[in-house]
């Protein structure tokens, strides 16, 4: 069965949200509220950070991830049942990760990089395996999304770029898992670190914990991973702006802008990664990093201005109907 629709506005009926991931999002919202309460009533610190800060951060991150992946799976048009099972597997992997994280807080110990006892080492391996499962499930869903045809071109570009950059951002987390030279020289049962150039647990940003005195690989990991949300949101915002900006009424113009935003986002993630690996705090950038960031921002702004100017000269493009197949979700 097929419906003919305006390419900028696919029908909501064409998207079947993945229910297990929606359930996970609700659970993460509840876990976030509990963690927020823990920050208020529990004064404990673990490795220099409030004990409930990590569950709160992960709850928020996984809440956004679950909602986004649920929406993305609803847009898959082929291998729908496979996509459903991949989403369910991803939800289970996240649940395992959160059980270990919250359990570690209740046990007054660390969850990540902890191999001090056979139990903690086993739990760390379980967490590592769950993240690999999560990454692979997201990758395969991304491949399935690349096969979707007939959607708004800007939105499709945003989704595909968001998936690719998001997967790269998730993969950056593996840079944290190798033991540092200091850890190998003075083994204390900790294998891996967030911080580059200093020990974990030093001065950091409120709640986020990102180091303010050294490099921190959580920064590019976080920024890259959430391209999965930010780029599709940018495409939707461009559609809304098209009501007032005539040049944006042309889908090809919006696609051009999204491509620039995706390239800019990729360059920012790369810059943040290099900065972290150099042992430099995100809040204390070197002149080279500042110059590079300003250059990227200027180049992106100029590119978007050129695209909009050309679109304005061309006038709004024809709104040709796109064919969007309607497929139900698997249960």
Residues with Cβ within 8 Å of 72's Cβ and at least 6 positions away in sequence, in order, are: 141, 145, 159, 163
Nearest to 6 by CA among 186, 242, 178, 229: 242
Same domain, 228 and 238: yes
Q: What is the pLDDT of residue 228?
A: 86
Same domain, 162 and 101: no
Would you call 46 helix, strand, or coil by DSSP?
strand
Same domain, 191 and 295: yes
Same domain, 133 and 215: no
Give the integer Cα–Cα distance in Å for 224 and 231: 11
Residue 285 lies in a domain: yes
Same domain, 262 and 210: yes
Same domain, 180 and 295: yes
Q: Are 100 and 126 in contact (CB under 8 A)?
A: yes
Give the integer Cα–Cα distance in Å for 211 and 225: 19
Residue 328 lies in a domain: no
Same domain, 134 and 160: no
Residue 197 lies in a domain: yes
Q: What is the pLDDT of residue 8?
A: 42
Backbone angles phi, psi at 154, to 5 degrees: -70, -40
| Residue at which a domain ends, from 109, 136, 151 | 151
Residue 330 lies in a domain: no
Same domain, 144 and 44: yes
Same domain, 115 and 229: no
The CATH number assigned to the domain holding 108 equals: 1.20.120
Q: Are 232 and 152 in contact (CB under 8 A)?
A: no
Give this prediction's pTM.
0.80
Q: How many domains, in total, are found in the chain?
A: 2
Residue 168 lies in a domain: yes
DSSP string, 50-112: ETTHHHHHHHHHHHHHHHHHHHHHTT--SSHHHHHHHHHHHHHHHHHHHHHHHHHHHTTS--T
Same domain, 120 and 190: no
Nearest to 232 by CA among 182, 312, 166, 180: 166
Backbone angles phi, psi at 5, to 5 degrees: -135, 165
Give the integer Cα–Cα distance in Å for 174 and 53: 21
Same domain, 138 and 265: no
Containing structural domain, residue 213: 153-320
Residue 124 lies in a domain: yes
Nearest to 73 by CA among 62, 60, 82, 64: 82
- DSSP H helix total and E strand total for the chain: 10, 6
| Residue at which a domain ends, from 134, 151, 168 | 151
Residue 329 lies in a domain: no
| Residue at which a domain ends, from 114, 132, 151 | 151
Same domain, 162 and 310: yes
Nearest to 140 by CA among 65, 64, 98, 89: 89
Residue 331 lies in a domain: no
Please list the pLDDT of the chain residue by residue as tens digits (331 residues): 333 334 444 444 456 789 999 999 999 999 999 999 999 999 998 877 888 989 999 999 999 999 989 988 888 878 889 999 999 999 999 999 999 999 999 988 888 877 788 888 888 889 889 989 999 998 898 888 887 766 778 888 998 899 899 999 989 988 887 777 777 777 776 777 778 878 777 777 777 888 888 888 999 999 998 898 899 889 889 988 888 888 888 888 999 999 999 999 999 999 999 999 998 998 999 999 999 999 999 999 999 999 998 877 665 554 443 333 333 333 3
């Amino acid at each position: 069965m097929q419906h003919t629709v305006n390419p900028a506005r696919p029908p909501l009926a064409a998207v079947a949200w993945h229910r297990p991931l929606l359930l996970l999002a609700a659970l993460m919202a509840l876990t976030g509220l509990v963690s927020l309460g823990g920050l208020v009533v529990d004064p404990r610190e673990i490795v220099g950070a409030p004990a409930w800060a990590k569950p709160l951060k992960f709850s928020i991150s996984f809440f956004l991830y679950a909602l986004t992946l649920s929406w993305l799976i609803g847009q898959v048009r082929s291998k729908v049942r496979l996509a459903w099972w991949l989403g369910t597997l991803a939800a289970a992997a996240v649940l395992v990760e959160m059980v270990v994280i919250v359990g570690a807080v209740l046990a007054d110990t660390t969850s990540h990089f902890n191999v001090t006892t056979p139990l903690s080492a086993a739990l760390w391996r379980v967490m590592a395996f769950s993240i690999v499962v999560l990454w692979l499930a997201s990758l395969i869903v991304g491949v399935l999304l690349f096969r979707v045809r007939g959607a708004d071109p800007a939105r499709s570009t945003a989704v595909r770029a968001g998936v690719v950059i998001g997967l790269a951002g998730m993969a950056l987390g593996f840079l944290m898992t190798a033991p540092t030279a200091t850890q190998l020289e003075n083994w204390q049962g900790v294998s891996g670190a967030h911080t580059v150039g200093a020990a974990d647990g030093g001065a950091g940003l409120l709640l986020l914990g990102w180091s303010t005195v050294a490099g921190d690989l959580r920064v590019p990991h976080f920024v890259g991973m959430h391209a999965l949300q930010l780029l599709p949101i940018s495409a939707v915002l461009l559609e809304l702006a098209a009501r007032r900006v005539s040049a944006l009424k042309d889908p090809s113009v919006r696609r051009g802008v999204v491509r620039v935003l995706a390239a800019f986002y990729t360059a920012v993630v790369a810059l943040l990664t290099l900065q972290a690996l150099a042992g430099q705090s995100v809040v204390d950038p070197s002149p080279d990093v500042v110059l590079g960031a300003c250059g990227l921002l200027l180049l992106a702004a100029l590119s978007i201005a050129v695209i909009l100017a050309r679109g304005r000269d061309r006038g709004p493009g024809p709104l040709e109907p796109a064919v969007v197949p309607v497929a139900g979700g698997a249960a």
